Amino acid sequence: MAAEAGAELTMMENRFVPARFKDGYGPVGAWFLLFKAKAANAYGEDYMAKNKDMLNDYPPYGQAAVPASCLRNHLMLKEMKEGRGPIYMDTVTALAKLAETLSPKEVKHLEAEAWEDFLDMCIGQCGIWVGENIEPEKKMSELMPTEPYLLGSHSGCCGIWVSGPTDLGAPTDEGLPGVPDHLPKGWSWGYRSMTTVKGLFTAGDGVGASGHKFSSGSHAEGRMAAKGMVKYVLDNPDVKPEFDETPEEIAAAIWKPAKNFLEFKDYTTAIDVNPNYITPKMLQFRLQKIMDEYVAGCATYYNTNDKMLGVAEEKLEMLKEDAQKMRAKDLHELLRAWENYHRILTAEAHMKHIQFREESRYPGFYYRTDKNFVDEENWHVFVNSIYDKKSKKWTCFKRKHVDLVDKSKLFKAAAPH
Ligand SMILES: Cc1cc2nc3c(=O)[nH]c(=O)nc-3n(C[C@H](O)[C@H](O)[C@H](O)COP(=O)(O)OP(=O)(O)OC[C@H]3O[C@@H](n4cnc5c(N)ncnc54)[C@H](O)[C@@H]3O)c2cc1C
């Protein structure tokens, strides 16, 4: 929606592919951090240790105490691709080790924590454990990287380009009193969290280029955005936002899927089979299939290239054409239809940005196999874009990246290039 309003987007090529318990999507953090469990290939080999040298190919070139999420996937994927899967979380050894120093009561308590961890945020995983007779102290559980997610948090940083806080970057080159000189200029345009469209704000997952926030950070950012909005409204009492279209035009556009249904529903006897319309569910499958098979989805182990992106581009164009024939048999489907319109645009932005960034900056999240390297010289930048809803064209461009923290202080040795 922000893209259609002309707001500048940022890092839409970026995505998040978490390693999770297979089929149920259960979180792994508690197992790694609290229970000190190790992940291993099907033959019991710790792939993080075994494939450690692969970390030297990418910044920070083996220097990070904890390798980035995408690089952990990168090392895991090698095992999967070379046929040493499935990957397992070794819950058995972890719990046995804990039992050496803890009392049986304490171990039981920890086991309860493991179940609670799933019940707290991913109840389905408990269903898998129950359904597959998995007792974590007796049977290991499979892990695998998930399908890609587009988000502006939790190590994903795609989203909208917004104004930073006023103490981060002055609007002009002269700087602001009290603002340290090394901070980038022009990263604040007065109202925290305002997009490049005047009066349009976002927060949390809507904000790109700031991937190190989570649920709580999104909530905090929502409060900051709300304060920015109030300030904007108080400063601009005369602003009266207006739509480009008339109310009648907007209503006609919103109801189109319902109209498609009412017009053609009696043409066939099977409500879902009709040459004149497509159900939102089927259209969503088609979108997922295009993205999965051509834009670095699970189907290709997250690989894509310029040619595959070209095919995706063509197929997305046709999908957009056919989307005009989506039907809505009730309000629920109307909601789904509209989710699809916006998803297609988001998917298209993702594809265009991957096309534009001629390197593979996030190995393990996706690879452009025709540019399978990190190019620090040309691509240590933000990739931003603007969508023109009239011409339906995307324009991608680079924005300079500025380190807020002196990198040389983070890593002990200089990186080999
Ligand atoms: C796979 C994954 C794993 C994650 N794991 C964790 C984790 O373990 N811990 C953690 O802290 N965070 C985690 N996060 C991050 C966390 O989920 C997000 O940071 C947080 O949900 C962002 O909050 P938000 O309010 O910005 O967006 P959302 O929670 O997405 O809220 C946006 C809401 O707007 C609604 N909406 C959209 N369009 C419209 C419309 N047109 N009209 C009305 N409503 C609309 C949506 O339905 C949605 O409810 C994870 C995220 C993902 C994707």
Pocket of ligand 1 contains residue 205 by CB under 6 Å: yes
CB atoms within 10 A of CB 315: 19
Pocket of ligand 1 contains residue 154 by CB under 6 Å: yes
C-alpha 339 to ligand 1 mean position (Å): 15
Q: Quick one: pLDDT at residue 173?
A: 52
The pLDDT tens digits along the chain (417 residues) read 999 999 999 999 999 999 999 999 998 988 988 889 999 999 999 999 999 999 999 988 988 888 999 999 999 999 999 999 999 999 999 999 988 999 989 988 888 888 888 898 889 999 999 999 999 989 999 999 999 999 999 989 999 999 987 766 555 555 555 555 556 777 888 899 999 999 999 999 999 999 889 999 999 999 999 999 999 999 999 999 888 899 999 999 999 999 999 999 999 999 999 999 999 999 999 999 999 999 999 999 999 999 999 999 999 999 999 999 999 999 999 999 999 999 999 999 999 999 999 999 999 999 999 999 999 999 999 999 999 999 999 999 999 988 776 666 555 444 443
Query: Of 208, 167, 202, whose CA–CA distance to 399 is shortest?
Result: 208
Q: Where do the DSSP E strands lie in 117-272?
A: 141-145, 159-160
Residue in 28, 153, 201, 338 to alter for ligand 1 test, most ligand atoms within 8 A of Cβ: 153
Convert the pLDDT of each residue in 251-279 to its tens digit: 999 999 999 999 999 999 999 999 999 99
Pocket of ligand 1 contains residue 151 by CB under 6 Å: yes
**Domains of the chain, CATH where assigned:** 19-145 (3.90.700.10), 247-379 (1.20.58.100)
Question: Long-range contacts of range 230-236, CB-CB < 8 Å, 24 or more positions apart?
Answer: 231/191, 232/191, 232/194, 232/199, 232/201, 236/199
DSSP bridge partners of 19: 145
Pocket of ligand 1 contains residue 214 by CB under 6 Å: yes
Nearest atom, ligand 1, residue 27 CA: 8
**229, 241 Cβ separation under 8 angstroms:** no
Pocket of ligand 1 contains residue 193 by CB under 6 Å: no
Token pair 């182990």 is found at: 301
Pinpoint the alpha helices (H) of 187-279. 215-235, 247-264
